[in-house]
Chain A
Amino acid sequence: MASTSDNGFRTRLGRVRGLGSAKSGGAHWLAYRMVAVLLVPLTVWFLISIVRLAKAEHADAIAWLHQPVNAVLLLITLIATFHHAAAGMREVYEDYIHGKLARLVAIGLTNGAAILLAAASVFAVLKIAFGA
């Protein structure tokens, strides 16, 4: 038959994408793992850092983020964390939310919130790092 479906101009491959396996699950799985591996040393570093900043005054926190190594590592930690959180929450939704629309909305809202929080926290770090 023709390559377009009965209801629209999209190809069969185009329609099936996002509705199940379209040969992209492996990449998603691997990305989740790679980021998780990356997060092991980063979160240990982060935990040590915030222990040292536990009783910090504002000036101490600013001075800490003025050091390029700290700013760069924190930026990577933040982006990896929000990627990992969104991927993890998606897995939870996919296991427990059975309605297709509700699941899609939950995943979409979580991804949106993750992007918003990632942007806000990255902006805060950059503002301090580049600030006087």
Chain B
Amino acid sequence: MSETSVAKKARPLSPHLQVYRLPLPAVSSITHRFTGIALTVGTLVLTWWLVAAASGPDDFDTAQHVLGSPIGLLCLLGWTWAFGYHLLKGIQHLIWDTGTGITNASAQRSSALVFGGSFVLTAIVWIAAFAL
């Protein structure tokens, strides 16, 4: 009888989506997708910037002006973070593809590293951009 209750306690619980707190690697995984989608949309801006540069000083100045406006800078800040995050998470995935680091503890650590690193990378890029 007591053995049964112990076995019951040890059973894994089925995640209930409304109350289930996603583990860090799961949050990290869905963030990878979101940043990937955002960066795909961002290629529109990159193409626009290059085409503006090719079409002449006036169009390029317009592009630089828009990107340098408060909303433009906010978008670029978000873009930088998405870029850094997707880069680091991508490296994590490439390492996972070799069969390395696929344990709960390791995934927890490396996912935290990806989040932390993405903010550090964003800070470095923006400090460098304003300092140079």
Contact (Cβ within 8 A) A61 B128: no
- The total number of A-B Cβ pairs within 8 Å is 71
Q: Which residue of A lies closest to B130 (CB)?
A: A54
Contact (Cβ within 8 A) B132 A89: no
Contact of A62 among B53, B90, B132 (CB under 8 A): B53
A70 at the interface (CB under 8 A from B): no
B36 at the interface (CB under 8 A from A): yes
Contact (Cβ within 8 A) B97 A33: yes
Chain A at the B interface: SS class? helix
Q: Which residues of B contact A127 (CB under 8 A)?
A: 54
Task: Write the nearest CB–CB distance from A129 to chain B, whole angstroms.
Answer: 10
Q: Which residues of B contact A88 (CB under 8 A)?
A: 36, 40
Q: Which residues of B contact A121 (CB under 8 A)?
A: 46-47, 50-51
Q: Which residues of B contact A81 (CB under 8 A)?
A: 43
Q: Which residue of A lies closest to B41 (CB)?
A: A85
